[in-house]
Amino acid sequence: MFDIAPTELLLVAVVALVVIGPKDLPRAMRFVGQWIGRARGVARHFRSGIDEMIRQSELEDMEKKWAAENQRIMSEHPAQIQTIDHEMLPLGGPPTMVEENVASEPAPHAASESAPAAETGPAKP
């Protein structure tokens, strides 16, 4: 954008040093840096606004194209209303969800838990 050669930058620095002086030069550079930062922020905000407007315009164009294509397809293939005869369905009605019963093992009794796990030999009377 700006073509500034290193010799031109050096010349500007020497003139600034002579005109502003070494004492106030850091404050002046800080001031210039803040203004450059603000200018970049404004440019970035402006550019993002323009990009958003372009994006919205392209989106509206695409929506118009999709609507026209959808209208063309719908005119070529008119909607057919289909009725469902519930008497023809299995079991005479619409399908329903059925939950399966899962057999679980019976819980052990409290008495058997306290008994020894395995006994050897015949039981005593």
| Global pTM exceeds 0.75 | no
105-122 tens-digit pLDDT: 555 555 555 555 555 555
Joined together, the tokens standing for residue 124 give 């005593």
pLDDT of 13: 85
pLDDT of 33: 92
56-82 tens-digit pLDDT: 999 999 999 999 999 998 888 876 655
Joined together, the tokens standing for residue 25 give 């030069």
pLDDT of 3: 77
% of the chain with per-residue pLDDT over 70:
61
CB hemisphere CA count around 27 (13 angstroms): 5
Cα→Cα distances 38→28, 30, 115, Å: 15, 12, 85
